Structure 1
Amino acid sequence: MKTKTKIGALSTRALSATLILQVLDQGKSLSALIPEVQHQVKAQDLPLLQEISFGVCRVLPRLERIIARLLDKPLKGKTRIIHCLLLIGLYQLLYTRVPPHAAVDEAVNAARELKAENFRALINAVLRRFLREQENILAETDKHWQTLHPEWLVNRLKKTYPNWRDIIEANNQKPPMWIRINPCYASAQDYRRLLATEKQIEACTAENPQALRLLQPTAVHNLPNFEQGWLSVQDLHAQWSAILLEAQNDELILDACAAPGGKTTHILELAPQAKVVALDIEAGRLKRVAENLQRMRQQAIMICADAATPDQWLPEVRRQLQNQQSAVLFDRILLDAPCSATGVIRRHPDIKWLRQEKDIAPLVQLQSRILDALWEKLKPKGVLLYATCSLLAEENSQQIKSFLQRHSNARLLPLPFKQTEDAVGIQFLPTTLGGDGFYYAKLTKLAS
C-alpha cells in the first residue's frame, strides 16, 4: 500500500495522520514537524491541525485501548497510517464538537487521500461500531483511572512528589495561555483593560508583575499591538527566568540555549542597554529568536553553536563586540539547559511518547558538561541562573548539588520564594490554571 503523497495535497486530517505516525514510529517531535508543514494548510485550518495532533498525543493510551477492543488484530507496518486515522476519528468523536457522521466521513475520506482506498470500509466499520457500542466500550476501558503517562515517568513522579496525582492531572489538561506584557509600552493592568475594552477578552493577573492569563486562549493576531512588540506569549513560570537573572544595563549577558527567544527578549525588556548574546545549537530554532527580536524592536548577538564548547564560539562573540581583550567573560549567564521537558507535557504532550527513561542519564551528563564549561566564562562576582523545564531531581536539585561539590568558588544565592532552609533552588510544579513545571537555581562566583 502506498502511503506517501504530496503533503500539500492532503486535508487537515490526512496531514495530521502523517504527523502522528512520525511521532509514534519515528520519534519525531510535533514542535519540529508542524512548523515544517503549517504553510501547506490554510491559516484557519492550522488550529485544527494542532488540536488533533496534540490532542491524540495527550490521550493516546485511552484511544489505543479502545482500538484494541475494536480490532481483531493490530494494524502494523504500512497499515500504521490507518491506525493513525482511527486515532484521529476516535479523538474527534470523543473530544471535539464535530458531528459524529462528519468525524467518520472525514477519517474515511482521508484514507483515499493517503492512497489507502482499500481500508476505507474498515475505518468506516470500526468507527461506526464504536458509536453503536460506545457506552459499553468506555465502561470497560475507563473502569480504572488512567494516568495517560508512560509507566516509568509515573513511577519517578511517585517517588518524588506526594501530590503526584495532581501533577498527572495538570499534565493531562490543555495548557492555559499566558502572555508577558512589555513594560516599555504598558503595565499588565493597563493591557488587561485594553484587552477588555477593545477585544472583550478577559484576563487575570498573577504574582509575576508582567504576566496575564487569558481566560480563553486566542490567536496572537487578536491581541492588540502584538506585532508592535507590546507582548509575548510565554508561560507564567518561564517568565521568572529573566526576572531572577536581574540583568543590568551595560552588562554582557549570555542567554545559552536561547531559542525560541522569549528569554532573550525579556532580558532586553528589563535591561534595554545590556549586551546580550543569544546562543543556540540549532540554526532553525535560532531563526525564531531573530524573528522575535525583530518583532520586539530589539538587537542581540546571535551565535549558532554548542554551549558546551565556548572556546569555539567566543572568538566570534569577541569579533562582534569589537572586544580587543584576549578573553570574553560574562557578567551574567542564563542557562536554560537541555532537559527531559517533563514539566511542559501539557504544552507538548508528545513528550510522553518521545522521551524514554534511558534518555535521562545522558541529559544529566550533558547539563553537567555545559554548566562546567560556561562557569569558566563567568566573571568573578558574576551570576549564573540555571533553569530547566523538568520535574526530575536528577536534572535539577541533584545536578546543582553535584555542581557545588565540584566548584569551591560557587555559592547558591537565595530566591524570592518561600522555601525550606535546605532547599536547593526552586521547583515549580504544573497546575491546572497556573504555570508549567520549571526549576531554577541561582549561583554566584566568588571573587577569589
Structure 2
Amino acid sequence: MTKFIPQNARELAFTSLERVLKTGAYSNLQVDETLRHHNLSSADRRLVTTIVYGTLQHQLTLKYWLDSLTRQKKLDSWVEALLMTALYQYHYLDRFPNWAITNETIEIAKHRGNPGIRKFVTGVLHAALRKGFPDFSKVKKTTERLSLESSVPQWLVEKFVQQYGMEKAKDILHAINMPAHVSIRINTNKSDLATVKEQLLNEGVETTESKVAANALVVTSGTVVNSSLLRNGTITIQDESAMLAVESMDLQPQFKVLDACAAPGGKTVQIAERLSADRGGQVVALDIHKHKVRLIKKNALRMGVNNVVSPVALDARKVAEKFSDDEFDRILVDAPCSGIGLLRRKPEIRYTKTPHDSQNLHKIQLAILDAVAPKVKKGGIITFSTCTILQEENEQTVREFLQKHPDFKLERTKTARALKDDRATATLTILPSDYGSDGFFISSLKRNL
C-alpha cells in the first residue's frame, strides 16, 4: 500500500477534516493551512472549505445517519470521517452529481486503506443512495430530536429551551446552521459608508448597509479579503454584533479607555477611532500573551490609530499592578467566554464545550470585573460584553458583580440603531436568530458618583 498523498479538493477536504477531528485543531487554521500549501482553483478552494465546515457543522446528524447505515459498527476514525464527508455532500450539496462524490470517495478509501475497507465504503455509499436518509420521527424526546436535526449537543439544546423557550430555541438552532455572512466596519477617520460602498463595487464587491451596526456594510457578492481598502485600514472585517459593544460606550475624544481583554484588537481600534491624541485621548489595550499584543499593535498601525493605542502585556486580573484607581473614563471588558454565539463561524465549538466550561468562565469574568472596578472613574462606565448567549456567562455574571459592588448600577445599553429598544431588560442580548449576525451580549455598569 502506497502512502496516500491528497491532491484534489475532496481528498484535501477529507485530510483537513481528519486532522481537525483527530487533533482538535481549529478548523479555520487547518483549512487556511491546506489552501496555502496547494494551488487550487477558486471553485476547488470553496469546495474544500464547504466540505470541512459543513461536515463539522452537521457532525451529529451525519453520525446518526451513518450509524443507521452501518448498524452502529465501530469504524476507524478516518473511515468515519471519510464517510461523513460523502454523506454531507449527498444531502447538502445538490450541485454535484452523486456518481462523482461516490467515485472520488471510493478512490480515497482504495488508496488510504485496503481492499476490504474499499469494499465496505462502497457498500455503505450504495446503501445510502439506495435507502436514503432516515428521518428523526422515531426519536421521541423533543430535545434529543432537535439535537440530531440541528447537530447541536443535547445539553446545549436544553439550555436554549430553558433560557429562551422552545420557539426561540428552535429559531436559534435554525439560525446557527445558516451560512455566516461577511460584514465590514468603515474606519470613519479615513472614509465614509457611501464612498466605501462605491469603491468596493468598483472592485467587484457588492454590499448592503447593515441593519445592526452603524458605519457597517454586509457583503452580498464578491470577496473583500483582497481589497486595497482592507490593506490600507479604510475598512476592517468585523461581525455586526461585535461592533455594538464599542458603539454603546458613549466615547468622547478626550477619554482614557481601558480595553481589558483586547487581542487581536478589533474593538481596540474601534475605540481608538473615536479618540483624539491632541485632546489626550488614549486606549490602553491589555492581553495576557505577548504575541497577541503584537497583533494589537499591527492592527492599530494598519488602521492608522497607533498614536492613541497603548498595548500592554498583562493579565486583566492584575491591573492593580500597573494602574491607579479612578484612572479610566471607560473600561471595556470583552470577556473570555464559551463563544456559543459564534457557532455559525466556528462549528467545532458546539462539540468541545461543556456546561462546566461556562461556570469556570463565569468565575474568570467576575475576577476580571472585580479587578478593573476600582480603575474606572466615578460616573464612568464598564461595558461588559461576551460573544455567548448563555445566561450564566452573561446575566448571572452581571447580577453577581452588582451584588458585590453596590457602588455600581446597571444602565440601559443603547445602540445607534436602537436595537430591541422595546426589551424589558437593561442588558442587550443579540441572538443569532434576531438579525442573522453572531450572538452577543452587552451590559453597561456605571460607577456611582
| TM-score normalized with structure 1 length | 0.84
Corresponding residue of 1:323: none
User: Offset of 1:161 from its aligned partner?
Assistant: 1.2
Instruction: Tell me: CA distance 1:111–1:270, structure 2 relative to 1, closer, same or farther (3 Å).
Output: farther
- The reply on whether 1:229 has 2:238 as its aligned counterpart is no
- Match of 1:383? 381
- Which residue pairs with 2:408 in the alignment? 410
Partner of 2:49: 50
After superposition, residues 87-98 of structure 1 pair within 5 angstroms as: 87-96=84-93, 97-98=95-96
Aligned mates of 1:214, 1:200 — CA distance in 2: 7
Return 5+ residue gaps in structure 2 as ranges: 140-144
Q: Give the gaps of 5 or more residues in structure 1.
A: 319-325
What is the SS of the residue equivalent to 1:179?
strand
1:36-91 superposed Cα distances (whole Å, 9 cap, x missing partner): 65533447455443322221122112211221122244344xx2012111111222
Q: TM-score scaled by structure 2? A: 0.84
Deviations 1:257-311 (A, max 9, x none): 2223221121122225332222223455445434433332331332333222224
Cα separation, 1, equivalents of 2:178 and 2:104:
26
Give the alignment partner of residue 244 of structure 2, picking from 220, 227, 240. 240
Residue 30 of structure 1 aligns to which amino acid in structure 2?
A: S
Cα gap change, 1:392/1:140 in structure 2, threshold over 3 Å: closer, same or farther? closer
The 5 Å alignment of 1:23-422 reads 23-24=20-21, 26-31=23-28, 33-34=30-31, 39-42=36-39, 44=42, 46-76=45-75, 79-96=76-93, 97-111=95-109, 119-134=117-132, 137-139=133-135, 146-162=149-165, 163-199=168-204, 201-216=206-221, 218-221=223-226, 223=227, 225-273=229-277, 274-299=281-306, 300-311=309-320, 314=322, 329-416=327-414, 417=418, 418-419=420-421
Are the structure 2 counterparts of residues 280 and 111 from structure 1 closer, same or farther at C-alpha, using a change threshold of 3 Å?
farther
State the one-letter code of the partner of 1:257. C
Is the partner of 1:401 in helix, strand or coil?
A: helix
Would the alpha carbon gap of residues 74 and 334 (structure 1) be closer, same or farther in structure 2, given more than 3 Å must change?
farther
Q: For 1:352, give the aligned amino acid.
A: R
Q: Is the 8 A contact 1:2 1:116 kept in 2?
A: no
Q: Distance in 1 between matches of 2:294 and 2:31?
A: 16
Q: 1:126 deviation in Å?
A: 2.2
Do the aligned residues in 2 keep the contact of 1:29 with 1:354 (CA within 8 Å)? no
Per the TM alignment, residue 342 of structure 1 is displaced from its structure 2 partner at its CA by 1.4
The corresponding residue for 2:142 is: none
Question: Contact conserved, 1:251 with 1:275, CA < 8 A, in 2?
Answer: yes
> In structure 1, what is the Cα distance between the partners aligned to 2:111 and 2:264?
34
The one-letter amino acid of 1:439's match is F
Write out per-residue CA displacement over residues 150-176 of structure 1, whole angstroms, 9 at most, x where no aligned residue: 111111111121322111111111112
CA contact (8 A) 1:188 1:205 kept: no
**Alpha-carbon contact 1:182-1:269 (below 8 Å) kept:** yes
**Cα offset for 1:112?**
6.2
Kept after mapping to 1: 8 A contact 2:185/2:237:
yes
Identity %: 29
* Offset at residue 255 of structure 1 (A): 1.6
Counterpart code for 1:301 = S
Q: Which amino acid aligns with 2:48?
A: L
**C-alpha separation between the residues in 1 aligned to 2:371 and 2:229?**
40
Q: Distance in 1 between matches of 2:63 and 2:287?
A: 37
Distance 1:197 1:181, change over 3 A: same
Distance in 2 between residues matched to 1:142 and 1:224, nearest whole Å: 53
The answer to whether residue 430 in structure 2 is matched with residue 428 in structure 1 is yes
Deviation digits for residues 200-221 of structure 1 (CA, Å, limit 9, x no counterpart): 6242342522111222363421
Once residues 432 and 133 of structure 1 are traced to their aligned partners in structure 2, the CA distance between those partners, rounded to angstroms, is 37
SS at match of 2:383: strand
Higher RCO (Cα < 8 Å, 6 or more apart): 1
Alpha carbons of structure 1 residues 118 and 263: separation in structure 2 relative to 1, 3 Å: farther
CA contact (8 A) 1:173 1:432 kept: no
Quick one: distance in 2 between partners of 1:237 and 1:277? 23
Distance 1:376 1:277 in 2: 16
1:126-155: CA deviations, max 9, x gaps?
223322333xx3457899662321111111
CA-atom RMSD in angstroms? 3.2
Matched residue SS, 2:229: coil
Aligned residues: 428
Q: Name the CA shift for 1:81/1:400 in 2 (closer, same or farther; >3 Å).
A: same
3-state SS, counterpart of residue 337 of structure 2: coil
Distance 1:74 1:292 in 2: 50
For the Cα contact (< 8 Å) 1:14–1:114, is it kept in 2? no
Quick check: 2:184–2:217 contact (8 Å CA) kept in 1?
Answer: yes
